[in-house]
Amino acid sequence: MSQSKPLFPLNAWYAVAWDHEIKHVLSPRKLCNLDVVVYRTTAGTVVALEDACWHRLVPLSMGKLRGDDVVCGYHGLVYNTQGRCVHMPSQDTINPSACVRSFPVAEKHRYVWIWPGDPAKADTRLIPDLHWSHDPAWAGDGRTIHAKCDYRLVLDNLMDLTHETFVHGSSIGQDEVAEAPFDVVHGDRGVIVSRWMRNIDPPPFWASQIARHLDYRGKVDRWQIIRFEAPSTIAIDVGVAIAGTGAPEGDRSQGVNGYVLNTITPETDTTCHYFWAFMRNYALHDQSLTTLTRDGVTGVFGEDEAVLEAQQRAIDAHPDHTFYNLNVDAGGMWARRVIDRLIAQEQRAQDLSLRMVG
């Protein structure tokens, strides 16, 4: 029986938690169909191990920490931070094969990242750029959604924002989003979709933001610049400015600017962890606005979640259905091609390795 094609590359960094979530306790996580247990050492370093004891596969997350070592909660085997067993009850000799997999870990942009692929290829320079999340020139907050859908459906959703017109009409949607022309640029690891809407009425969310910050209630120039970075991170530059004040040419001083930061971690083939944050470059010290916008975006993404989970259920019911692309699908189509190319590269390398061993 042939093995199904992988849906995600493994030689990549995936977020598994907000940095503040990981403490000196055992925290189970799942990414790319792999169960891991994550914790901080007493010195604050993050450790990620395979969440299955070498002895009987009982999850190590059901055990406890003894200092920086993990004690299995079933038979008491003890593992160090590298995943090697350092103690077996009732015997002095430790089987040299007694170890669990240890994963490369990094902390950046307020997230804890894990590299589930070849450890030798884990380059922290490949961590996606989400610097707005901790840049003092920006303020905001975010949350995590456990979405019951293929992570690529979330990417499709974010790469084609024309759905705002129909899904988010009460907040950020308007007819102009679906009607405005857009540009797509793509490369080896990224895709950029740009859309400008000139001299329009702002939708409710942006109308409230520019009125609150600039006391303005007229026509605006609106922009959406979507940047996909392989395999699953999308930073969306969004905002509105007083119409005709030069925003399309680069002067956004008469506007309000936000970044919607999204990084999606596949949990299984049909579920994912969706980490998001909304950052803004105005009213930086207004905590009430941070809370208000975070809660507002939570509502918007809840609408997306309902659509995407319904879509996944329909796909599960019709696995052989053929999908057709519209012009607005160009960004998502190129993003999927980038992902497919990364997966194919890994498969070729794996096949070559197997042939050399054979």
Residue 318, beta-bridge partner list:
none
Written out in words, the top-level CATH class of the domain with range 14-124 is mainly beta
> Which pLDDT tens digit goes with each residue over 125-170?
999 999 999 999 999 999 999 999 999 999 999 999 999 889 887 8
**Residue among 59, 54, 57, 7 nearest 30 (CA):** 59
User: What is the C-alpha separation between 322 and 107, in angstroms, rounded?
Assistant: 40
Average pLDDT over residues 333-352: 93
pLDDT at 1 over 60: no
Residue range(s) of every CATH 2.102.10.10 domain in the chain: 14-124
Report the number of secondary-structure helices (H) and strands (E) in the chain: 6, 17
What is the DSSP secondary-structure string of 16-65? EEEGGG--SS-EEEEETTEEEEEEE-TTS-EEEEESS-TTT---GGGSEE
What is the DSSP secondary-structure string of 93-109? ---TT-B--B--EEEET
Taking the model in full, what pTM does it have?
A: 0.94
Strands 64-66 and 46-50, by their bridges, are unpaired
Residue range(s) of every CATH 3.90.380.10 domain in the chain: 131-343
pLDDT at 358 over 80: no
Average pLDDT over residues 38-48: 99
pLDDT at 284 over 50: yes
For the chain, what percentages of helix, strand and coil (3-state, to nearest 5) are there?
A: 30, 30, 35
Written out in words, the top-level CATH class of the domain with range 131-343 is alpha beta
**Residue among 315, 264, 9 nearest 145 (CA):** 264
> Which pLDDT tens digit goes with each residue over 54-112?
999 999 999 999 999 999 999 999 999 999 999 999 899 999 999 999 999 999 999 99
> Which pLDDT tens digit goes with each residue over 258-270?
999 999 999 999 9
Average pLDDT over residues 226-242: 99
